[in-house]
Amino acid sequence: MRGLSDTILLLLSFSGCGDDAMVKVYDERVTTERTECMRLIVFPPDEQAEQTLKKLYDFDDSCEIRLEVSTKDGIVCNSTQNVEKKALSDFPNSYLRMRITDGGKRLYSYYIDLSDTMSKRDLKDGFGRIERDLILF
Q: What is the mean pLDDT of residues 24-53?
A: 94
Q: What is the pLDDT of residues 69-84, one digit of tens each?
A: 998 766 565 656 555 5
Identify any residues that bridge with 97 across adjacent strands, giving them in sequence order.
70, 111
pLDDT band, residue 20 (cuts 50/70/90): confident
Which residue would you say has higher pLDDT here, 63 or 79? 63
Query: Bigger pLDDT: 9 or 51?
Result: 51
The DSSP annotation for 28-74 comes to THHHHSEE---EEEEES--HHHHHHHHTTS---TT-SEEEEEEEEES
Q: Which domains does the chain have, with CATH numbers?
A: 2-136 (3.30.160)
Least confident range of 21-35, 54-68, 86-100:
86-100
